[in-house]
Amino acid sequence: MDVKQAIKERRAYRSLEPVKITEKLVRDLAESARLAPSCFNNQPWRFVFVYEPEALKSMHSALSRGNEWALAGSMIIAVFSKKEFDCVIKSREYYLFGLGMATAFIILRATELGLVAHPIAGYDEEKVKDVLNIPYEMTVITLVIVGKHSPTISPVLSDKQVEAERKRPERLPLEKFLLKAGDVSI
């Protein structure tokens, strides 16, 4: 699958089936992140791939209400860093950009492998840090839920989530974000 195809096929599905997580898969996804660009090649990203059953169960306690669907995931990837790991130029903290790109590479590689890799914002950061022993000074940017897409709609989904399962949510038209120099009225 080429990159453009992976971008088109990527979906944040919530109806998941279990998938066997192997050390080989974890290393494959991590290698994709490792190759992402970063400011001065600082590579600020840190990941914990959680797939052992007991560790996964502990991570479930950190999920926010509305993310019950994530319990069907076979792996949770914690994505974290701190601004001191990367360039800070004036008020621009590049570690956030680097983490985003490395995470996108993981998501695209997972898509290429026929998996769903769904990043979420609904979690208790302190609980995640406690469960995974992540130092307090780090920022957990996202959790990525990994599984196999299920054709059966999960019964825990809201009506809005069910609709998003059936049809890709609308994307902004290019004209909303593809702007011309000198004509940037937002």
Q: Catalogue the E-assigned strands of the chain.
A: 16-17, 46-50, 75-81, 88-89, 92-93, 116-120, 139-149
Position 119 pLDDT exceeds 80: yes
pLDDT digits (tens, 9 = 90+) for 55-104: 999 999 999 999 999 999 999 999 999 999 989 999 999 999 999 999 99
φ/ψ of 47, rounded to 5, equals -135, 145
Q: What is the pLDDT, as a whole number, of residue 153? A: 97
Position 185 pLDDT exceeds 80: no
Percent of the chain with pLDDT over 90: 89
Apex CA 32: angle with CA 19 and CA 107, to 5°? 50
Whole-number Å distance between alpha carbons of 88 and 78:
23
| Assigned token pair, 136 | 């307090």
How far, rounded to the nearest angstrom, does the alpha carbon of residue 152 sit from its chain's CA centroid? Answer: 22
Position 160 pLDDT exceeds 90: yes
Domains of the chain by start residue, with CATH: 3-177 (3.40.109.10)
Q: What does pTM read for this prediction?
A: 0.95
pLDDT averaged over every residue in the chain: 95
